[in-house]
Structure 1
Amino acid sequence: MVVGLCSVPSLSYAAANPYVSVSGGLGLMNNSSEDGNDDAVEYNSGYLVNGAVGLKSDLGRIEAEVGYHRNGVDTYYGSPQSDTDVSVWSFMANGYLDFDMKDQGIAPYVMAGIGVADASIQSDTEEYGDTVFAWQVGAGVGIKAADKVSVDLGYRYFKPSDVTWDGSTYSLGSHNILAGIRYSL
């Protein structure tokens, strides 16, 4: 999907407008299975922040994004874990298809992205990490706030490939609710 979103409008990006954006929000990480054991790890609600640079044309947007996600571990096989966190640095290439409603000042969008995620789990005494492929899909709306400023409200599902920490394999994935600002340069 990303290839399609990026390749179709590629001819129009010669006259595209650059932009920068920042966003943040609530990260609701799915419970993780460990080596096939469902719900081995349960997470607290967390947060995420993203920064991106991109190009916008009449057909859509393409961007490079760096993100940071952090969630506390609530339980590990039912045992409370107050001092353990999972953090993920993501490096994504995203494509957006904007449905610009110029007269209303809003632009609903759908997006998809691919990249890499550097996921780690850390406690007071240990830390393990793994770098894996990641993808994300989402939808939302951009609301024009000023001549060069848009407020973005959206949802994304973020999914790294399974990670290996200390010899065990864990599934990761999160539902993210985001609010952000996009500034056209």
Structure 2
Amino acid sequence: MKSEGVTMKNCLSVLVLIALLVMPGVAMSAQDSGPYFGIQGGGVLLDDIENKDNEGTYNYSFDPGYYGAVVIGAHLDKHSSLGEGRLEVEVAYRANDLDEMDFEEGSEAAGGEMTVMSAMFNSIAEYRGRYIWVPYLGAGAGWAMVDLKDATVGGQAVADADDNAFCYQFMTGFVAEVSSAVNFDLGYRYMRTLDLEFEDVQGRSVDSEYSSHTVSLGLRIDF
């Protein structure tokens, strides 16, 4: 069990997420108007990660990384003038190399990798007009498996651990309708997990976190 529990900041984020998951649904009818399948790829900027153990606080910083995802979903019919929407399941993978560890005394070069495999349910509202580009807003929630692989500082091993946590994301972007069945997607995602707990090579418990920014290109096929 984590000693601190869920912070107030995380509670507020989850409440906002729930509201955003529900609100797009108001703009949708319950009738499904067709399934779709999509793939996405792009880059990931991982926020510096603050870590706390019984000796103090230190940060990980990371190089830019990569992102890949598969989505399966369904379009929902238009309801009034609020727009159209989609519901989808997303399985995604993110990876970033560890660059530095920052201590109170200074920074040291570091090695290793942080990877995240996540599965989320997304609710997305689309706003259609006269243009080929269709803007959208959405939110998602699910579960993430976070793995800190072979973390080293100055050639010395410091951690090789993993943890699972509830995760959520907010997204926005544009969809270009190439044809009645083919769409291209340019999107941005902010993803965050609730508190994580790792164990370092000395067996000490380390409280940690994860948040990232993803820019992606995607291809979606409607059926």
TM-score by length of 1: 0.91
- Structure 2 letter corresponding to 1:117: A
Match of 2:42 in 1: 25
How far residue 9 of structure 1 moved from its aligned partner, in angstroms, is 4.8
C-alpha distance in 1 between matches for 2:175 and 2:57: 37
For residue 3 of structure 1, give the secondary structure of its aligned residue in structure 2: helix
Q: Within 5 Å, which residues of 2 pair with 1:1-185?
A: 1-6=20-25, 8-9=26-27, 12-35=29-52, 40-57=59-76, 58=78, 59-77=84-102, 78-82=107-111, 84-101=112-129, 103-123=130-150, 127-166=160-199, 167-185=205-223
C-alpha distance in 2 between matches for 1:176 and 1:39: 24
- Structure 2 letter corresponding to 1:76: M
Identical-residue share of aligned pairs (%): 25
C-alpha distance in 1 between matches for 2:213 and 2:123: 19
How far residue 3 of structure 1 moved from its aligned partner, in angstroms, is 2.7
Q: What do residues 80-124 of structure 1 show as CA deviations (whole Å, max 9, x unaligned)? A: 123x000000110001000012x3222100010011110010118
How far residue 154 of structure 1 moved from its aligned partner, in angstroms, is 1.1
Q: Kindly tell me: are residues 143 and 119 of structure 1, through their superposed partners in 2, closer, same or farther at Cα, counting changes over 3 Å?
A: same
C-alpha distance in 2 between matches for 1:141 and 1:43: 28
Contact 1:13 1:56 in 2 (8 A): no
- What do you get for the CA RMSD once the two structures are aligned? 1.8
- Structure 2 letter corresponding to 1:129: D
Contact 2:27 2:125 in 1 (8 A): no
Q: What do residues 117-161 of structure 1 show as CA deviations (whole Å, max 9, x unaligned)? A: 100101187631111010100110000112201100011101111
C-alpha distance in 1 between matches for 2:211 and 2:181: 33
C-alpha distance in 2 between matches for 1:146 and 1:179: 17
Contact 2:65 2:94 in 1 (8 A): yes
Contact 1:26 1:47 in 2 (8 A): yes
TM-score by length of 2: 0.76
C-alpha distance in 2 between matches for 1:169 and 1:3: 31
C-alpha distance in 1 between matches for 2:52 and 2:23: 34
Equivalent residue pairs, number = 181
- Structure 2 letter corresponding to 1:15: D
